[in-house]
Amino acid sequence: MAATKTGIAVIGGGPAGLMAAEVAASGGAAVTLYDAMPSLGRKFLMAGRGGLNLTHSEEIEAFLGRYREASGRLRPAIEAFPAQSLRGWAEGLGEETLVGSSGRVFPRSWKASPLLRAWLRRLGGLGIRLALRHRWTGWSATGDLLFETPEGRVAVRAPAATVLALGGASWPRLGADGSWVPVLASAGIEVAPIRPSNAGLRISWSEIFARRFAGRPLKRIAISCGGETRRGEAMITETGMEGGTVYALSAAVRAQLDRAGEAILHLDLRPDLSEAALAAALSRPRARQSLSTWLRKTAGLAPVAIGLLREGTEPLPAEAPVLARRIKALPLRAEGTAWIERAISTAGGVRFCELDADFMLRKRPGTFLAGEMIDWDAPTGGYLLQACFATGAAAGRGALRHLSHGLSGGAGVDGAPIRSHL
């Protein structure tokens, strides 16, 4: 079956795809939005369950630095649609935003669902056509878009421009399963391996420690890996550690895993105390106190922290300076990250060398990419969503420019001039 040719096809109904669709439709193009799932924005809704962190309020240079080696390639898109613009866009949907004490930006409602509902109403008002339960499987020999649907295979005549916003490979039950990787690779497009990011660590605890402390938080700690240190909290799990402090070190952990097959992290259980001050406290006589009671009273350690110190085969050092050093830099051996299905996001994807300045595939003119399927990585804190929104807007603008160049006089698919947006 063949569908009628449309101006722009957007494939993927997450934040990047929805933003690309909005930009393209607001610019005068006829847009059809395809998604494999029966409803849109599923991972977006999941991300907002604990409070939707839209972006971050820090100044632009520090903000861009969070994207590491991809910062230069993402800069134009983020500068064209920065945090202030994202906040203004949300407020235009009736969702006022606020800045938390950490600088993170949230809707005042804290939820994703009101914003998504308002957004979908706006997209409906722009005349965007939806085609749900359409799983993209590639291109035909003539460039038609191929989909699997409940009714069978569907071929959609090649549109004037296509935006692919298919996500990474984390939380596949919500739609982002990485099934596009072999499709693009078979087309000769270079794809960096998809890896877990913002993921927990796999650590082989003793059975006693895992049984006693799984689910317990580690508060006011610092973790170091590869020359980077993050302070905050973490959670002990049966198979390792989770939490924002752990997630922030994902890139450093991956680098060590690639080099050595394991990653050695160092845990500071009392980052608020210097090693000298801690050694002085530990020099007090233990008397008849149990070791756990003495460590709790003299070093201010919680039971889970004491359990970590005692994990392993070597006894704790008796000398106060050596014990203080152990508390300030407790080595942890991570065998790997949590499985990709449980990662918050993924690193890897289509390499930037395959894209032009408009996020168009050089090897497939008229096909644009947006969001997490591009080879960039970011920590939590609003940076993930900001880059998805910004690259979605950039791809939408690029698709409009491509459509204009392909039509005489720069007219849209309905004969109306294409308008710029965002």
Query: For residue 15, what are its two tokens?
Result: 């934040």
Q: Which residues of the chain have a pLDDT value below 50? A: 1-5, 408-422
Measure CA 293 to chain center. 41
Domain boundary assignment for the chain: 2-196+343-410, 201-337
Cβ pair 279, 320 in contact under 8 A: yes
Rg (CA), the chain: 25
Query: Would you identify the CATH topology of the domain 2-196+343-410?
Result: FAD/NAD(P)-binding domain (3.50.50)
Query: For residue 340, what are its two tokens?
Result: 């990709």
Concatenating the DSSP letter of every residue in 225-281 gives ETTEEEEEEEEEETTEEESHHHHTTHHHHHHHHHHHSSEEEEEES-TTS-HHHHHHH
d(CA 40, CA 35): 7
What are the pLDDT digits (tens) for 183-238?
Answer: 999 999 999 999 999 999 999 999 999 999 999 999 999 999 999 999 999 999 99
Cβ pair 356, 362 in contact under 8 A: yes
Residue 306's SS3 state is helix
CA nearest to 198, candidates 342, 63, 336: 342
What are the pLDDT digits (tens) for 377-399?
Answer: 999 999 999 999 999 999 999 99
Sheet with 8-11, side-by-side order of all strands: 129-131, 31-34, 8-11, 161-164, 367-369
Q: Which residue has the tokens 């739609």?
A: 175
What pLDDT score does 49 carry?
78
What pLDDT score does 6 carry?
52
What pLDDT score does 412 carry?
35
Concatenating the DSSP letter of every residue in 323-351 gives HHHHHHSEEEEE-EEPPGGG-SEEEEEE-
CA nearest to 195, candidates 235, 138, 264, 255: 255
What pLDDT score does 407 carry?
55
What pLDDT score does 5 carry?
44
